[in-house]
Amino acid sequence: MSATVGVAVFPGTNCELDSIHAVESLGGNGKILWHSSKNLAEVDAVIIPGGFAHGDYLRPGAIARFSPLMSAISDFANNGGPVLGICNGFQVLTESGLLPGALQKNKGLKFLCKTVEVCVVTENSTLTRNAVKGAKLSLPINHFEGNFTCSNETLDTLLEQDRVVLRYCDNPNGSMNDIAGICNETRNVVGIMPHPERACDSLLGSEDGKILFDSLLGSN
Amino acid sequence: MRRFQESLLGTGLALGVSLLFSVFVDVSLRKGIADPAGSTIERSLPTLGFSNVRDVSVGKTIRFVIEAENEKEAHEKVETICSTFLTNPVIEEAGITIENLEQAEGN
Amino acid sequence: MRRFQESLLGTGLALGVSLLFSVFVDVSLRKGIADPAGSTIERSLPTLGFSNVRDVSVGKTIRFVIEAENEKEAHEKVETICSTFLTNPVIEEAGITIENLEQAEGN
Amino acid sequence: MDDSLHRALGLTDEEAKKIGDILGRKPNPLELAMYSVMWSEHCSYKSSRLHLSRLPTSAPWVLVGPGENAGVIDVGDGIAVAIRIESHNHPSAIEPYQGAATGVGGILRDIFTMGARPIALMDSLRFGSLTDARSCWIAEGVVSGISGYGNAVGVPTVGGEIDFDPTFQGNPLVNVLCLGTLPRDRLVLGQASGIGNLAVLLGAATGRDGIGGVSVLASAGFSDQGDIEKRPSVQVGDPFEEKRLIEACLEIFDSNLVVGIQDLGGAGLTCATSETASRGGVGMDVDLSAVPQRELGMEAHEIMISESQERMLAIIEPSNLERLFEICNKWEVNANVIGRVTKGNKLRILDHFEGNVLAEIPASSLHDDAPIYDRPKKKPESKKSVLNENIKVSDDPTSDLLSLLSDPSWVYNQYDHQLFLNTVVGPGCEASVLKLRDPVNGFETNNGLAISTDGNHRWCAVDPRVGTKLVVAEGLMNLACVGAYPLALVNCLNFGNPENPEVMWQLSESIDGMAEACEAFGIPVVGGNVSLYNESSGVNISPTPVIGMVGKIDGLYRRPPGFELSEGNRLVLLGPNDVGLGGSLLSALHGFETEELIDVNFQTHQDLADLVRSLVSDGTIDGIHDLSAGGLGVALAEMVAKSKCGVSVARIPDVLTFFGEGPSRVLVSVHPESVNDLLSRAEGANIPTTRLGLVGGDRFTVKGLIDVPKETVDSAFVTHLPNALGAGTVSS
Ligand SMILES: Nc1ncnc2c1ncn2[C@@H]1O[C@H](COP(=O)(O)OP(=O)(O)O)[C@@H](O)[C@H]1O
Ligand SMILES: [Mg+2]
């Protein structure tokens, strides 16, 4: 039976169809979750995709986190449901407290859209269970605020608990500890800055994102 | 805007006259948090011919007008808005300045 | 920063002691210019449970320390930095506050 | 009324008289203001219209030609493509970030007005020299503005151009192209019809944006100059509002709710209401009190002329109003009924429906009766050629080459170029290639679209007619290099002051050159934009027609070859060896003024394009680059900089051959086993070939001219822009 993945849409979100496309190309079903809805219906996993929820005004994710949908996603996550935040989705997850830290403006103060190499740091997360620790993946990034920042104590905790999921091979944005993605303590909520949905088609240049979606689809 | 004025009117009639406060929120990065915007400006200034500038930091401001029964209530409201919404406490802190608008106009 | 301190030292030795000023620049959009960030925040506040807030506008601040012979020179320098680099006067205006750091420390 | 008011509004005495004749009375100030904006150069094309009519515009696949908001062509599979290019040069010169951002916003609205979903943007940029601080500030701001708006609105910027030249100092060029797809049978046109139908204003509130010259009408009068100066002439874009507007409009189209729709651009409500009414042959009543206003106390002329961004005017039947409100509500888009379609042909501006009439004008007179000028033209005196055979072209080809290299990735890495998962070839190659998908369900057709923007002010300064032909030819060859054949062309004509007869001559020559090339290649012109008065301190820019060309790839199953070179491959130059220094990058570098510009032979060019297309489609070649600005030298170095190995090249007799520029030349890299196949196919197509050398090693070697480590080339290429522009734009 194929997994149904709910894809959150706030006004300003723009990667929802791309995420659904990637999920469906790997045999899953994608389903739009509108920001004002109060429940998730029957989904096996949730993706909060990239884009500019509420225009990224004030701070990326600052307004989106108050939506009824985010309460429902919080409940889902707290019950162990797999949740993946990609780019703007990662920002929403940190703003809503489901993941620690914050994503600041890139060190170079420029928006960055390019393909980077990241390294799989742990296999122990809903997103990387099918991947191999140490593997290098070519994934596109596309953000202005991707510079992961947290207190030193938080960083220590993340490292101690093996919660860094992906790390940049060549840090493009100034992220602490080269962090490209992290997970929560129960490892079912993952936030990453790179866009794996943009790397699922050889005609577009890379298929390295497939392994991540495979993990997510098989994680329930 | 029209909607607000109506709601204001409604409140005034029902609950006694409430006051308007002008609010200035000055959001800055917490000490110790890297400030990419500040360092970029600091780096650029010498090449533009401005030397002898240092410790540049960049923040943002949010100004608005709020309605409340009295200054204390206004302060409480603004503080909640700041800590839950206008700032991200992981990296930011806020200074709040509140002024009673009617008083201000009286000057 | 190191370069700055060296130059400071250099100046001090060569030209007499120069002063340090702490600068606060408050940049806001000129009246009549659309403020999408402000209006988006204003629109979203009621759904976050904060009613009775209006006229929201968003601006930015730049804080830094500048070295100058005296307060007048500091003011002139800061004004040039503001109008040529920190703001575009076509859409923004800046409020400048300058404080003599040594005096401030004396308080 | 002050008799000189029309002059203060920029209307000539004759134009004012014509308005009086149309109305049969003296216009009031509001009416005069409406005519003044609609009859401006920007809205009426009064200097260029006469000449534009010489461009070929039809082909069996053209669904909508010039004149509507965008051109539309049929690309098969039940899909149509809408395309348009527009300039935002002047706003970008004052406020680079917002000027460029609102340029993006404006071109997007032109596309979704047609019922199409915008799927790609391209930007063609020109700035003053990189050694000029203000030009750098403008360049950084413009790129950030395109990035800030395009990325947030959620439309990828898949390619473009950037160039620097002192001619653009003080007057940058910011041209933005947008392409959208729609189901063929869902074209929406910008017209009103059906007496009693409603005009609904969608989107942002109206402020005093872009009132510009019309602010002389402010009731404060001339006495309060200070206040007038404070009126914002710059608009601020809101990509979030536009994103919601796009989604709401597309859902409204899907639900079949509109009779017509029109975006609000130049001249705001005046243009949108009069244009929809006159296209539909009806009249319209407009209730100003129903227009949501951002500021208090706006006057009638301010509301009618405001260029506030992110607004659309939809014409709908009253029975569809509820449904439209529901959709707008869902997307948090404001919608207000501000007008009614009426019998007759009058556009009436009212302070309230059933209230006072503030203006009453025949709607079509604002467009159809706009003046058309046949301005005087004069060919400039020939410049003496300072270059003859005795002058040494270059002492140091290595340093010349290195200073001509510039990697635009500093620009396009700031643009989301991958959204929608269509981008097979993004920025950084000859042309961008997109998957062609069904716009309704996203299904792949296995075909592709290719787009390219091209312009070359150096060629056009030498000879605007031949230069423009060369630019069109380059667009065609760029498409061929990714395996595409051309379907349509849009253009943006960036010229100086048309009241200068030499500028008028340039414009006319350029249009003739474009017409000639388009006829020869069978490419219809489906839209364009004319930007005049590009001058600063009285100096006109070099003529800069920019063309955007869209083409199709039938059967897109493999990635087209890029610039990348593979070790062991052979380098072959296809095409003639006729080159010169006229309008070349090398001439610009050394300040040579030359008259010679090598004309394009349409037949040779077409034959080469056909050959290239087939070599690309069947995978015969691994790497390709057409020769353009900078000639063979720059093309070769760019390929090396994008590869992991160097080259070793011979058979380049001199510097002229290395840097000279001429049409119909393409450099390819082929596997040794395919060389014979390549050569014989070229011979069959009557295309000359030159075997240049091989790919490999870690040096860039051109026998007798240059021998440097590959890293020297790489680093010149990648550091050029970041070094010059690294200071960082602060405002965002
Ligand atoms: N302003 C820009 N925006 C986006 N892409 C750009 C820009 N400038 C250049 N590029 C990319 O770099 C490629 C090379 O640019 P250019 O040297 O102008 O190409 P060519 O001379 O072959 O037409 C372009 O095809 C385009 O994809
Ligand atoms: Mg080219």
Secondary structure of D680-708 in HEC code, one letter for each residue = HHHHHCCCCEEEEEEECCCEEEECCCEEE
**Bridge partners of residue A85, in order along the sequence:** A48, A191
**Bridge partners of residue D550, in order along the sequence:** D451, D488
d(Cα D651, Cα A40) in Å, to the nearest integer? 68
Burial class of A196 by CB neighbour count within 10 A (0 to 12, 13 to 18, 19+): buried
The pLDDT value recorded for residue D387 is: 55
Backbone angles phi, psi at D32, to 5 degrees: -60, -40
Q: What is the D472 CA–ligand 2 centroid distance (Å)?
A: 11
- Let me know: does D467 contact D461? Beta carbons within 8 Å: yes
Convert the pLDDT of each residue in B44-91 to its tens digit.
Answer: 888 878 888 999 999 999 999 999 999 999 999 999 999 999 999 999
Nearest to C36 among D230, D231, D236 (CB): D236
Segments making up each domain of chain A, as ranges: 4-217
3-class DSSP state of D86: strand
Helix (H) or strand (E) holding C59: strand C53-68
d(Cα D476, Cα D609) in Å, to the nearest integer? 7
**Bridge partners of residue D689, in order along the sequence:** D574
d(Cα A215, Cα A5) in Å, to the nearest integer? 12
- pTM for this structure? 0.94
- Let me know: does A22 contact A213? Beta carbons within 8 Å: yes
The pLDDT value recorded for residue D394 is: 76
Nearest ligand 1 atom to alpha carbon D474: 23
Using only the alpha carbons of chain D, give its radius of gyration: 26
Q: What is the D21 CA–ligand 1 centroid distance (Å)?
A: 50
**pLDDT higher than threshold 80 for residue D221:** no
Nearest to C36 among D230, D234, D241 (CB): D241
Work out how many CB contacts closer than 8 A connect A with D: 86
CB-based contact C34 D294, cutoff 8 Å: yes
Convert the pLDDT of each residue in C26-84 to its tens digit.
Answer: 999 998 899 999 999 999 999 888 889 999 999 999 999 999 999 999 999 999 999 88
| Cα dihedral C31, C32, C36, C38 sign | positive
d(Cα D727, Cα C71) in Å, to the nearest integer? 28
Contacts of residue D311, Cβ cutoff 8 Å, sequence gap at least 6: D201, D202, D203, D204, D206, D263, D264, D268
C63 touches chain B (CB under 8 A): yes
Mean model confidence pLDDT for chain A: 96
Helix count and strand count (H, E) for chain C: 4, 3
Q: Which ligand is nearest to the CA of D665?
A: 2
State how far the alpha carbon of C76 is from the alpha carbons of B46, C82, C98, D235, in Å: 17, 10, 11, 30
Task: Please name which of D657, D653, D651 lies closest in space to residue D570, comparing C-alpha atoms.
Answer: D651
The nearest CA of chain A is from the CA of B99 a distance in Å of 23
**pLDDT higher than threshold 60 for residue D311:** yes
Percent of chain A topping pLDDT 90 = 96
Secondary structure of D17-71 in HEC code, one letter for each residue = HHHHHHHCCCCCHHHHHHHHHHCCHHHHCCCCHHHHCCCCCCCCCEEECECECCE
**pLDDT higher than threshold 60 for residue A139:** yes
Average pLDDT over residues A74-80: 97
Pocket test for ligand 1, best of D412, D472, D478, D718 (most atoms within 8 A of CB): D412
d(Cα D620, Cα D323) in Å, to the nearest integer? 55
Nearest ligand 1 atom to alpha carbon D626: 22
* D223 DSSP assignment: T
* D130 DSSP assignment: T
| Contact list, D234 vs chain C (CB under 8 Å) | 33, 90-91
Contacts of residue A181, Cβ cutoff 8 Å, sequence gap at least 6: A90, A118, A127, A164, A165, A166, A190, A191, A192, A193, A194
| Contact list, C85 vs chain D (CB under 8 Å) | 730
The pLDDT value recorded for residue A219 is: 66
The pLDDT value recorded for residue D213 is: 62
Burial class of C17 by CB neighbour count within 10 A (0 to 12, 13 to 18, 19+): exposed
CB-based contact B44 D133, cutoff 8 Å: no
Convert the pLDDT of each residue in D190-218 to its tens digit.
Answer: 888 899 999 999 999 999 888 866 666 65
Of residues D729 and D658, which shows the higher confidence score? D658
Task: Please name which of D249, D259, D241 lies closest in space to residue D327, comparing C-alpha atoms.
Answer: D249
Work out how many CB contacts closer than 8 A connect A with C: 21
3-class DSSP state of B30: coil
pLDDT band at D230 (very low <50, low <70, confident <90, very high): very low
Percent of chain A topping pLDDT 70 = 99
Average pLDDT over residues B20-36: 94
Q: Which amino acid, one-letter code, is at D710?
A: K
The nearest CA of chain D is from the CA of A73 a distance in Å of 21
The pLDDT value recorded for residue A41 is: 82
Tell how far CA D419 is from the center of its chain. 20
3-class DSSP state of D241: helix
Average pLDDT over residues D677-698: 97
Q: What is the D476 CA–ligand 2 centroid distance (Å)?
A: 9
**pLDDT higher than threshold 90 for residue B5:** no
* Minimum Cα–Cα distance from A106: chain B residue: B36
Q: What is the ipTM of this complex?
A: 0.92
Query: Which residue do the tokens 């990509």 mark?
Result: D239
Longest dimension (CA), chain C: 61
3-class DSSP state of D132: coil
Burial class of D535 by CB neighbour count within 10 A (0 to 12, 13 to 18, 19+): middle
What are the strands of the beta sheet with D432-437, ordered from one edge? D423-425, D432-437, D444-454, D544-553, D485-494, D525-531
d(Cα D346, Cα D324) in Å, to the nearest integer? 26
CB-based contact A101 B37, cutoff 8 Å: no
Q: Which ligand is nearest to the CA of D480?
A: 2
Convert the pLDDT of each residue in A98-110 to its tens digit.
Answer: 999 999 999 999 9
CATH 3.40.1350.10 fits A4-217, yes or no: no
State how far the alpha carbon of B100 is from the alpha carbons of B67, B69, B76, B106, in Å: 10, 11, 14, 10
Percent of chain D topping pLDDT 70 = 94
Ligand 1 lining (C-beta closer than 6 Å): D 123, 125, 157, 159-162, 408, 411-412, 427-430, 432, 454, 478, 628-629
Strands A147-149 and D346-350: unpaired
> Which of D418, D440, D443 has the highest number of chain A CBs within 10 A, making it the mutation to test binding with A?
D418
Convert the pLDDT of each residue in D416-442 to its tens digit.
Answer: 999 999 999 999 999 999 999 999 899
* D3 DSSP assignment: T
Which residues from C are below 8 Å from D when comparing CB atoms?
29-36, 40, 43, 85-88, 90-92
Backbone angles phi, psi at A170, to 5 degrees: -135, 95
Backbone angles phi, psi at D342, to 5 degrees: -120, 165
The pLDDT value recorded for residue D388 is: 52
Q: What is the DSSP string of A52-81?
A: -GGGG-SSTTTTGGGSHHHHHHHHHHHTT-
Supply the residue whose CA is at minimum distance from atom 6 of ligand 1: D160
Query: Which residue do the tokens 């993941």 mark?
Result: A99
Pocket test for ligand 1, best of D161, D413, D451 (most atoms within 8 A of CB): D161
Q: Which amino acid, one-letter code, is at A5?
A: V
| Cα dihedral D113, D50, D23, D359 sign | positive
Q: What is the D666 CA–ligand 2 centroid distance (Å)?
A: 10
d(Cα D305, Cα D210) in Å, to the nearest integer? 8
CB-based contact A58 C58, cutoff 8 Å: yes
Secondary structure of D190-205 in HEC code, one letter for each residue = CCCCCCCCEEEEEECC
Q: What is the D454 CA–ligand 2 centroid distance (Å)?
A: 7
Mean model confidence pLDDT for chain D: 93
The nearest CA of chain C is from the CA of A103 a distance in Å of 19
Q: What is the D331 CA–ligand 2 centroid distance (Å)?
A: 41
Strands A83-86 and A189-192: parallel
> Which of A63, A95, A105, A109 has the highest number of chain C CBs within 10 A, making it the mutation to test binding with C?
A63
**pLDDT higher than threshold 50 for residue D728:** no
Convert the pLDDT of each residue in D624-664 to its tens digit.
Answer: 999 999 999 999 999 999 999 999 999 999 999 999 999 99
| Cα dihedral D256, D258, D260, D263 sign | negative
Average pLDDT over residues D129-139: 93
Q: Tell me which of A89-93, B69-73, D142-146 is least confident.
A: B69-73
d(Cα D165, Cα D585) in Å, to the nearest integer? 10
| Contact list, C81 vs chain B (CB under 8 Å) | 45, 50, 53
pLDDT band at B107 (very low <50, low <70, confident <90, very high): very low
Which residues from A are below 8 Å from B when comparing CB atoms?
58-59, 62, 66, 94-95, 100-102, 104-109, 147, 149-151, 174
C41 touches chain A (CB under 8 A): yes
d(Cα A118, Cα A141) in Å, to the nearest integer? 10
* C67 DSSP assignment: E
Residues 2-41 on D with a CB inside 8 Å of A are none
> Which of A149, A152, A175 has the highest number of chain B CBs within 10 A, making it the mutation to test binding with B?
A149
